[in-house]
Structure 1
Amino acid sequence: MRPTTTHYADRGGRPRLIFVKDSESWDGKAPKVLNLVDDVVVIGSAQDSGLILEGLEPVHARIVRDDLDEYVLQAVHRVGGSAGLNAGQEYVLRSGARIELGGWRLVFYREEYADHGRPFGGRNGGELAYQRPQVNPRTGIIERDSTD
């Protein structure tokens, strides 16, 4: 059987960041949510950032929606989590990707039916729990499951 990928409409699946401060300072409230509606969202402590988080560099990272409707995390400073990026590196975000910025914990979420890296439309469409490495037919890049 040939692997497939999702070809849902651009900006579909309500891409968003769900975020909290570290667990030591958690106040018991529900996490905050930022819907990713702009093509570029700057994350940092600067007042003109799309997501202002205290304690970070003025521009710490960016999330850019590319021409393939992928959301790409660009590290301006060190980023922990699923990708573990150094400044200047990039990582294509998939639903459930963890991002650690200073004391902040963020998760990228996009409905599986619209997450272009999920074959067969995600788990509801028949994807197995472990996805073997495969070539993304839209980009030609081999994609693998996270090792975390």
Structure 2
Amino acid sequence: MTHGHHNALPILVLNGPNLNMLGTRQPEVYGTETLDDVVALCRETAERHGRTIRAEQSNHEGALIDWIHEARGTASGIVINPGGLTHTSVVLRDALVVPEIPVVEIHISNVHAREEFRHHSFVSGIAVSVIAGCGVRGYRYAVDEICARTS
């Protein structure tokens, strides 16, 4: 596969458990934008770079893992907000190594300013970048980062 072709591949944007409730769940923490707003922001950010995205959300760990496995050879990078799985899921971390493409971990809130259990991420150790506490704008930064690393 040529390097140029690789760049034409979509960026996989994955959102984990409870992110379908964005805009309604604890808006004082997560803001009022919805998951649809997040996907639209990612799409328009990618388009500015002449790129595309594929966006998926699931409340089920196995579904996220299946999409990550499928990303091998079909995606140029992964933007992932694992939600609560960030702090619990070894299998998610293991899966994210499989596609051999850059992974950017994103959190809407500053997880480090929250409960102690949110301070450790199983994903951060294998991510090229971690973005936290920028609100949904962080997704724009995450897509920009994947584009910069795969241009």
Structure with greater contact order relative to length (CA < 8 Å, sep ≥ 6): 2
Identify the structure with the greater strand proportion: 1
Structure whose residues are more often helix by fraction? 2
TM-score (norm 1): 0.29
